[in-house]
Structure 1
Amino acid sequence: MKFVLEVTVDDGAVARDRAAELERILRYWGGNLRHYALEPGDGSAVHDSAYQEVGAWRVVES
């Protein structure tokens, strides 16, 4: 399996403070990780602090 996290960092809140927004995204994702089986097909949208969708994560076959 492969875990893929893609975040666009050139628009919105992420563009204003990339490090802080990515830190927040990773912290939020990590806190919710236990709610997923982490099997191929699992995934979810990723949002910045302004609740705008800036990417997604997914689990795929490697």
Structure 2
Amino acid sequence: MVHCPECKTTLSDESDIEFIETDAVSGFFKASKRFYIAECVDCGANLGSGVAGAKAGGGGAV
């Protein structure tokens, strides 16, 4: 079982974590990258972050 390091809530379901898109920027190939933060739904503690691939309509390579 996984627990939030801040409030010790059990994180056992998708609904226990909120994924928030924080920023989207155009890169070298004119494709937008999506940055995410994962937060505990109960206390809002940051559990991790990451970068997703190109966003739809980002333009692709020119």
TM-score range, shorter chain: 0.3 to 0.5
Q: What TM-score does the superposition give when structure 1 sets the normalisation length? A: 0.40
Query: Which structure dedicates a bigger proportion of its chain to strand?
Result: 2
Query: Which structure dedicates a bigger proportion of its chain to helix?
Result: 1
Bigger radius of gyration? 2
